[in-house]
Amino acid sequence: MKRVGVFLCWCGSNIAGVVDMDRLQAEVERMPGVVHVEQNKYTCSDPGQESIRRAIREHRLQRVVVAACSPRMHERTFRAMMRTAGLNPYLLEMANLREHCSWVHRDIDEATAKAVDLVRRAVFKVRLARPLQSGKVPITRRALVLGGGIAGIQAALDLADFGIPVVLVESSPSLGGRMAQLDKTFPTLDCSSCILTPKMVEVATHPSIRLLTYSEVESVEGYVGNFKVLVRRKARSVDEQRCTGCGECLSKCPAKVPSEFDLGLGTRGAIYVPFPQAVPNVPVIDRQSCLYFTRGRCRICQRACPAGAIDYQQEDRLESYEVGAIVVATGYDQFDPAAYGEYAYRASPNVITGLEFERLVSSTGPTGGRILTPGGGREPQRVVFIKCVGSRDEQRGASYCSKTCCMYVAKQAILLKEKLPRCEVYVFYMDVRAAGKDYEEFYLRAREMGVQYVRGRVARVFPHGDRLRIRAEDTLIGRRLELEADLVVLASAMVPRPDARQVARKLGIAANQHGFFSEAHPKLRPVETHTAGIFLAGAAQGPKDIPDSVAQAGAAASKAAALLSRQEMETEPVVAEVNEHWCSGCLRCARVCPYNAISEREIRVRTAAGVRTKTVATVNPGLCQGCGACAVACRDGAMNLAGFADQQVLAEVDALCL
C-alpha cells in the first residue's frame, strides 16, 4: 500500500472556523494508507510548503493529499512543491475544504462530517495515482490577431514590438472597427480618429505585421503553438499593388447605396472606401450593388482608374498560415432597438441609436458634423437620450450592463451643448454608473453644462406632428412627464457580433449565455481562454470602453508573447489515453470531443487467427484539453483520462458512498 500523507489547512479561520480540525484529523488518521497527518494555518505559505517537504522526507511519503482550497486556486503551487520534494507532481490530490465546505456551511458538526468525506475521497483517489510525464511540442513563432478594431490593432502592434511576426485578419475593407466611427472619446474629448488613424498607419507599415483586410478566417486546426489557419481573402476587385488610392473611381461611380460605415445615414458608391482615413486606402467593389456585376454594363471605374487597378475577374483566394498563438478581438455589435416597439425606432427617422449619433456629430459624417435631425434636416431644439435600451432588461434585451453607455451619453450630451448651446438636453437613466478615472467628473461636467438628468425609464416615444413626444416618469419626484423633442437617442446595448458563436466554434473556445467569449478565469486569467494558445481582447469578451480594450489587448499580447518566446513548450499530461486492446473503433469519442483532438488510425493486431488490421481511436495530446468527455462516451472503457482513470473515479465513488 502506498504511503499517504494528508495536510489539513486552516486557511486562517476560513476553514478552521467552521470545520473542527482536530476531529477531522482523528478521522483521517484512521483512513487506509494514511501514515501521516498534520495541520497548518496556511499550507500554501512558504513554511507550510516546507513542512510538507519535510514530512515527505521523514515519513517517506509516496502520495500527498492537501485538504485546503479549490484546486483552481493552488493546485499549481502544490504541484511545483511536489517537484522540489522529488515526487512526481501528479501524485498530489487536493480536497476542497473551503469553497466546497466551510464557505457554504454553518453547522460545525455537519461541515466536519462533510470534510471527512471530502478528504476520504481524495485519499482513495490518490492511492491509485500514477506518475504522469509531460511531453514537449515545438512552437511556431507567429501570432494571428483576429479583428482590426482598436483591440486588434493594439494587440498586433504590441506583439510586433516584441519582435513577433503577426498576421492581422480584418473582415471589413479597412482597419479601424467601431472606434473609427466615433467622433470624440470620453473623458478627454480627444478626437477618436486623431488618436486611432496613426495606429492604423503604424500597423500597415510595420515590417512584422502582415495585414489582411477584407478577409475572413475559414478554419482553424491544430493546437497551442501549432495552429494552422486558413484565411479567405475576399475578392476586392481592385488590385492592391497597383491602386494608388487617388480616389478617381470613387466620385465617378453612378451607384448610390446606404453606407455601412455611416450606419445608413449617408451613402456610398458601389466602389468605395468606407471612410476617408481608411487603411489600406484601397477601394473595394461591392458586387451586389455594382452595375457591372449586376447588369453587365458600366465599367466607368475601370475607365477612370489611371493605374489600371480595377480587376473584375479577381476571385476569392485562400491562404494558409501557421501560427503559435491567436488573439481574438472580433469586437461587438449594437443591439437592435426595434425590439422596443414603443420607442418608435423603426417608425421615426428622428429616433436614432448612440452609434448613429456619433456619425451625425462626426465631421467625417454625412452632415459634416452639423447636428441635424435625419428626418427634417433641422437643428434640434430639444434632444432626449434614453439609457439602458437592451441593457439591464432581461425580458427584451440582456441582463447585463453595457458599461459604456453612461459615459458616451454624457459625452454626446456635452458635444450637443457645445455645438448647440441653446438646445435642451434630457437624459433618462436608471442609474448613472461612472466608475473610472475622471469619469464621475466628466458626468458632473455634463450636468453643470445644463444637461437635465431624469431618473426613470421612458414609457413611450411616438411621432407627434413633425416632432416626437416622450412619456416618462420622474421616479425621484414620483411624477409623470410628457415632453416633446426633435431627436431621441437610444443608448442601445453592446451585444456580441451576430457570428460570434460560429467564431467560437471555429476556434474551439467557449462563449457565455449572451455570446461573449469566455475567459479562463474572471479574475486570475482574464485574457486567456480555456483553449491553450488562444487569448481574448476587447469587447468580444464583454462590453468595454476604449481604455479597457487597449489595456486588455496589451495584456493578451504579452500573454501570447510569453508563450511564443519559448522554442518549445511542455504539454499538459492530463490528457485522454486509448487502450488500443479494448478500443472497438466506434469513434463515439471523436464525435463528442469539443477540441477535434481524436482521430482514427489503423493498427495491426496479432490474434489467434493471425495478424489483422483494426481501426482504433487516437488522441492528439497537443489538442486534448483533458475535459474527459471521450472517457464518458466510450462504451468499452478503453478511453481513460490520465489522472482520472476509471478505477480512480470509482474509488472516489466508493469512498463517498460505501
Return the range that interacts with another protein (CB under 8 A); candidates 170-178, 210-218, 342-350, 517-525. 342-350
Stretch 347-366: interaction string toward another protein, x if CB under 8 A = x-------------------
User: Which string of DSSP letters, residue by residue, matches 240-305?
Assistant: TTT-----HHHHH----EE-TTTTTSSEE-SEE-SSTT-SS---EE-TTT-HHHHHS---HHHHH-
Residue with smaller CB distance to another protein, 482 or 602: 482
Q: Judged by CB, which is closer to another protein: 342, or 438?
A: 342
Cβ atoms 560, 328 nearer than 8 A: no
Tell me the H-state helices in 420-512: 439-448, 500-507
Out of 293, 462, 582, 644, which residue is the one contacting another protein (CB under 8 A)? 462
Residue by residue, DSSP assigns 488-511 as EEEEEPEEE-TTHHHHHHHHT--B
Q: Which residues contact 146 (CB under 8 A, 6 or more apart)?
A: 152, 169, 217, 326, 327, 328, 329, 330, 503
Among 72, 471, 506, 588, binds another protein (CB under 8 A): 471
CB within 8 A of 500, min separation 6: which ones? Answer: 330, 511, 515, 516, 517, 540
Instruction: Point out which span in 95-103, 122-130, 406-414, 461-469 binds another protein (CB under 8 A).
Output: 461-469
Quote the DSSP letter at residue 443. Answer: H
53 touches another protein (CB under 8 A): no
* CB nearer to another protein: pick between 345 and 517: 345
Neighbours of 284 (CB within 10 A): 23
Nearest to 179 by CA among 426, 597, 535, 547: 547
Angle value at C-alpha 81, between 78 and 85, nearest 5 degrees: 140
If you write DSSP's letter for every residue of 65-132 in order, what string do you get?
EEEES-HHHHHHHHHHHHHHTTS-GGGEEEEE-IIIIITT---HHHHHHHHHHHHHHHHHHHHT----
Q: Quick one: how far is CA 198 from the chain centroid?
A: 26
Q: Determine if 460 is a binding residue for another protein (CB under 8 A).
A: yes
CA distances from 379 to 69, 369, 370, 386 (A): 62, 12, 8, 19
CA atoms within 13 A on the CB side of 190: 8
How far is residue 176's CA from residue 282's CA, in Å, rounded to a whole number? 14
Residue 191 or 347 with smaller CB distance to another protein? 347
Of the pair 171, 348, the CB lying nearest another protein is at: 348
Q: How far is the CB of 477 from another protein (least distance, A)?
A: 19
Enumerate residues 258-317 that contact another protein by CB under 8 A: none
Selected binder of another protein within 3, 23, 252, 469 (CB under 8 A): 469
Window 369-398: contact mask with another protein (x via CB under 8 A): --------------------------x---
Under rule CB under 8 A, residue 463 binds another protein:
yes
Name the residue nearer to another protein (CB basis): 3 or 460: 460
Encode 580-591: b = buried (16+ Cβ within 10 Å), e = exposed: eeebeebbbbbe
- 385 vs 410: CA distance, rounded Å: 10
Q: How far apart are CA 550 and CA 538, in angstroms?
A: 7
Should residue 399 be labelled a site residue for another protein when binding is judged by CB under 8 A? no
Q: Is 189 in the site for another protein (CB under 8 A)?
A: no
Tell me the window of 68-76, 238-246, 302-310, 340-348 that interacts with another protein (CB under 8 A): 340-348
Q: Tell me if 340 contacts another protein by CB under 8 A.
A: yes
Which CB, 223 or 345, lies closer to another protein? 345
Cβ closest to another protein, residue 312 vs residue 462? 462
Q: Does 459 bind another protein (CB under 8 A)?
A: yes
Tell which one of 342, 431, 441, 654 touches another protein (CB under 8 A).
342
- Residues in the interface with another protein (CB under 8 A) total 13
124 vs 343, beta carbon nearer another protein: 343
Gap between the terminal Cα atoms of the chain: 20
Q: Which of 212, 243, 344, 550 binds another protein (CB under 8 A)?
A: 344
Choices 4-12, 43-51, 320-328, 457-465 (CB under 8 A): range interacting with another protein: 457-465
Residue 109 or 482: which CB sits closer to another protein?
482
Closest approach, Cβ 344 to another protein, in A, equals 7
Q: Quick check: 466 binds another protein (CB under 8 A)? A: no
Q: Which of 341, 562, 565, 646 binds another protein (CB under 8 A)?
A: 341
Q: Which stretch binds another protein (CB under 8 A): 40-48, 274-282, 456-464, 560-568?
A: 456-464
Q: From the CB of 471, what's the least distance to another protein, in Å?
A: 5
Rounded least distance, CB 343 to another protein, Å:
8
Give the nearer residue to another protein in terms of CB position, either 119 or 398.
398
Nearest alpha carbon to residue 291 among 337, 252, 233, 340 = 252
Q: How many residues does the chain have?
A: 658
Question: Rule CB under 8 A: which residues touch another protein?
Answer: 340-342, 344, 347, 395, 459-460, 462-464, 469, 471
